[in-house]
Structure 1
């Protein structure tokens, strides 16, 4: 009787709604849209993640893999259970899909290109025969709508995990299963390449907008462009480019999100077979690299749920298309806009670094990882246990740590996984490498060759940014005082400050009026804060110069916006102070020589940068709305 009542409600919407349903506002999917939806093809649907696979059973009792039903058509995938009585739950999803199937019968050119898949997450009750009877009431004509179930809950769980579906059984006061489930309603739009392109929840599930999304994907006949083939001036730029924002004819040029269709790379090869110009990678004996660890570490690196409020990941400060740094901010910003006093350093070739953080206070990536995770002004977690428990409770991490480390999430394994991914971010085979180590005479310009002569000669840059006979890390792995920190610490606050109120729009304000508005910026004494040795005041580590053209702004505080400004700073001999490195002195470079030096530095961008960025673009970013439990957990639903 429950299913008959459900069918009557869905198909006719004439039967009076019960008193309980009358008091519950109906979802937008039941009514006409109160606004004009965007026209198909006027917007983009970037790839969200790969569609998960799993073992399912058709209404003909035939076993299949979910991916077998994808690839030849666009797919709308929904999850339901036949006995659901929540008017804004499974009935909503089935009703909206039924509307779509009826509309598309009038548009055969679209109907032939779309498949609806409805999968039960109640395999005990929703047998293949039950799903066949359930589906017969909804199918319209010959439209391709398939109703599926699974052999058992063990077969279903990996699918639920893959789509981050939080499903919980509801128990009564005596601990008996009531036959109902608590779950989050979601419908997934999946393209022919098995990529999820949109996810619809209760508030966004509507036949009109969903059909427009289908038409948008079908109208986009152009193949997805891999980032490695996108021109560098498009790929490697701020994600929201607001140059000339102040002009009345400004148009957005936020191209980075539209280009986030990547290709996975075999990352372990970049570690075990470093590109031309890099030495053999030092790897901890306690944490040997494996593909499973690397994949887990990448998932952690891009997962926003690793922060206190589920909004902030490592990748938000270390942005792949911005040199794994941040081109848009001089100093980093953590959760809730909390100020961080230092610039986000690039992570390219970080596996070779003997000193980590700008002041070099850590010496292993496994240990370094916990600094940002626990910092109040970065990811804000209150304790190690808080992070560990969150990962243990996340369904999509179930089994991943065990596969990689033979044990679950711990302080040690989390650090080891993150370190494993970062050790693959090795980028070389630059034009310089091909010229200097590969002996390709035409690999760099004449200006870059002159710049190299200056780098190793008159400018003496290679004293700290060292180059070997067969490889080059462009760092001496030491700390130096260049005067940047001293100059910032000693400068007086100006009476007036130029304040940006919008991109490209500035006003001059009395500094007195800004007191209480801005957080007072804390002082920064460099490695002295760790060593407490006065000789270490304003000393910071020597960074590698590989890919330096991709990681502006520069210095530990992001105070120098361009490579030209960096060269100018060193040309004047740094900033004088009592602890200034004796290696620094005025260089006497001409304007042309400064330009040549910049040309050389620009020739240090690795040939595999595009592959690393492209791989990063397919990494999952974490769903901040889900805290999953196993289906067998008798905890209360939300």
Structure 2
């Protein structure tokens, strides 16, 4: 195997460039690594995606395709313009490449397996002749380094788009192009199968780490240990299981993605014939349920391309094996790690919900789906048209919308497809259903039976989490103020906050220091933000309790970590405030009664959860490129 480097961020690293920006902190690539890098071959570089092709010109003005310069060697791909003066931009890549070339002069056996390719993103100025002249000052004897450009910007744009290189021209106050560009440095390491194996940014581009990555790709495959035996319990839990992470003797029990094998299910059956304990599914007249719509919605739900940067799908927050919620975070995290102020709600049986989102601001799944698609801190799409156009231009969606709706992707059909899939995620026929509705006396434990008596009696839970004669959603489909939102908004921020650094390792950090590195947490006033009626302050919808044991942590802000904590919260009568629901009162439950109530809540897990999760594992996730 040989190594090809496509290096397109190479600019002249001049003393004047550094002096002009001497106040700007230099990137790590300019100095020695402050740590000992991992030894080559001691780690893996998984495939990130395919390396895109495109028409280019060599410095001899010969027309070629990028893929012609890949495959026989490894490749590091970057993009530059010759007159760049940003010390942490193109000059940084130049400096790193000089360091690499010096190291490789002492390792000719490695140099023979590398190719550096420098591609300009300014074809108007950086002609083949200019790139040939530009490259003459960098070439090292015996080193394969090619300087490339394109015939024009039209040929360049597909390459830039496929490598997600966002480059903006800078204009002066008269609207004239200044000859400079705004861009972010990214360098792509590509293997001989034309697959991207690493992407280096300003903070991670360093000659030592790049060389070690190359050696790792060239090293003989390391024999893999036999995969651990995967139990059903392990399969349907967090992939990166952090249970007991707070303890010093914590050991990971994570599963590799390839161990999560799935099997497609006949999903529409769960909507047409809902499991025991669920009533007939209400369907909108303008969106009849069909297998074609469900299949299309399923594909969309797991497709990362529905986010701005092709990395984030609906399922990354609504994780199938975590109750179609997220067990690992109190509040959700969206694209590029952007914080979301509320907990990810489970979407089991969401087709029955009359109120959507924690504050109940929407009442239709078809409309609701556009909230996360357009939210800046979730999937961050800039507009509806952006999503529509992306799907229209995706080859693997060709004909799917037409087959399902007799027309192509639109705001309406995208919403209808996603809603159709979600309406099949119906899970019931729980142990409770078999005991209560099917009259199977031994279906639940004595503790759960006592818990049910408390649920409908002393604990008064069914006042909000209602149970019907023949079916039960365990929700009154209304909004209530329990005091959780009031406490979150009104409590004083402590002077120090406890932060966990590693298993069993905690430190107390001054709140002022945390403020310096984090945004101020936005306030959350519940449905008041929609209605503007003061009586709606801190009012949130009553969630269904079906499958509730799967969707910890709880409440709209994820502030209660376990079912026991939830029961104890209601046992104390919530949090007093002027808008507290009159249904929330101290319950006077004993510890034993709290335990019985939790046992009942755990009996509400549907019998078909594993089928729905297995189907999710079988769904395509979308090509990130």
Interval containing the TM-score (normalised by the shorter chain): 0.5 to 0.7
**Structure-1 residue corresponding to 2:474:** 474
Matches within 5 A, 1:4-19: none
Deviation at 1:510? 1.8
Q: Report how many residues are paired.
A: 467
Pair 424,36 (structure 1): closer, same or farther in 2 beyond 3 Å: same
Pair 614,212 (structure 1): closer, same or farther in 2 beyond 3 Å: farther
**Structure-1 residue corresponding to 2:333:** 333
Matches within 5 A, 1:116-515: 200-202=193-195, 230-232=231-233, 234-243=234-243, 251-255=251-255, 257-515=257-515
In structure 2, C-alpha distance between the alignment counterparts of 1:382 and 1:576, rounded to whole Å: 41
What SS is found at the alignment partner of 2:517? coil
**Structure-1 residue corresponding to 2:102:** none
Pair 23,497 (structure 1): closer, same or farther in 2 beyond 3 Å: closer
Pair 90,496 (structure 1): closer, same or farther in 2 beyond 3 Å: same
Deviation at 1:239? 2.0
What SS is found at the alignment partner of 2:516? coil
Cα contact 1:351–1:365 (8 A) shared by 2: yes
CA RMSD, aligned part only?
4.0
Cα contact 2:73–2:192 (8 A) shared by 1: no
Pair 172,241 (structure 1): closer, same or farther in 2 beyond 3 Å: closer
- Output one character per residue of 1:542-575: Cα deviation in whole Å (capped at 9) or x when no partner: 0000000000000000000000000000001111
Deviation at 1:531? 0.6
Cα contact 1:452–1:600 (8 A) shared by 2: yes
In structure 2, C-alpha distance between the alignment counterparts of 1:250 and 1:580, rounded to whole Å: 41
Deviation at 1:279? 0.3
In structure 2, C-alpha distance between the alignment counterparts of 1:609 and 1:317, rounded to whole Å: 18
Pair 474,403 (structure 1): closer, same or farther in 2 beyond 3 Å: same
In structure 1, C-alpha distance between the alignment counterparts of 2:585 and 2:192, rounded to whole Å: 58
- Output one character per residue of 1:485-513: Cα deviation in whole Å (capped at 9) or x when no partner: 11111111111111223354321112122
Q: Which runs of 5+ in 2 are unaligned?
A: 8-38, 54-62, 75-149, 164-190, 199-213
Pair 490,91 (structure 1): closer, same or farther in 2 beyond 3 Å: closer
In structure 1, C-alpha distance between the alignment counterparts of 2:254 and 2:529, rounded to whole Å: 40
Cα contact 1:235–1:256 (8 A) shared by 2: no
- Output one character per residue of 1:151-171: Cα deviation in whole Å (capped at 9) or x when no partner: xxxxxxxxxxxxxxxxxxxx9
Pair 483,203 (structure 1): closer, same or farther in 2 beyond 3 Å: closer
Pair 561,199 (structure 1): closer, same or farther in 2 beyond 3 Å: farther
**Structure-2 residue corresponding to 1:588:** 588
Pair 213,605 (structure 1): closer, same or farther in 2 beyond 3 Å: farther
Pair 399,559 (structure 1): closer, same or farther in 2 beyond 3 Å: same
In structure 2, C-alpha distance between the alignment counterparts of 1:248 and 1:475, rounded to whole Å: 40
In structure 2, C-alpha distance between the alignment counterparts of 1:399 and 1:341, rounded to whole Å: 38
- Output one character per residue of 1:171-222: Cα deviation in whole Å (capped at 9) or x when no partner: 999x9xxxxx99999xxxxxxxxxxxx995345699x9899889979x88x9
In structure 2, C-alpha distance between the alignment counterparts of 1:304 and 1:611, rounded to whole Å: 23
2:523 is equivalent to residue 530 of structure 1 = no
Deviation at 1:260? 1.4
Cα contact 1:271–1:281 (8 A) shared by 2: yes
What SS is found at the alignment partner of 1:444? coil
In structure 2, C-alpha distance between the alignment counterparts of 1:293 and 1:540, rounded to whole Å: 31
TM-score by length of 1: 0.66
**Structure-1 residue corresponding to 2:621:** 621
What SS is found at the alignment partner of 1:516? helix
Deviation at 1:238? 2.2
In structure 2, C-alpha distance between the alignment counterparts of 1:22 and 1:36, rounded to whole Å: 18
In structure 2, C-alpha distance between the alignment counterparts of 1:23 and 1:330, rounded to whole Å: 42
Deviation at 1:398? 0.9
In structure 2, C-alpha distance between the alignment counterparts of 1:183 and 1:578, rounded to whole Å: 54
Cα contact 2:249–2:503 (8 A) shared by 1: no
Higher relative contact order (CA 8 A, sep 6+): 1
Deviation at 1:37? 8.2
What SS is found at the alignment partner of 1:515? helix
- Output one character per residue of 1:394-452: Cα deviation in whole Å (capped at 9) or x when no partner: 11111111111111110000000000000000000000001111111111000000000
Cα contact 1:317–1:326 (8 A) shared by 2: yes
- Output one character per residue of 1:35-79: Cα deviation in whole Å (capped at 9) or x when no partner: 5588xxxx9999x99xxxxxxxxxxxxxxxxxxxxxxxxxxxxx9
**Structure-2 residue corresponding to 1:67:** none
Matches within 5 A, 1:28-177: 36=41, 89=67
Over 6 Å off, 4+ runs: 21-25, 43-46, 85-88, 181-185, 208-217, 246-249
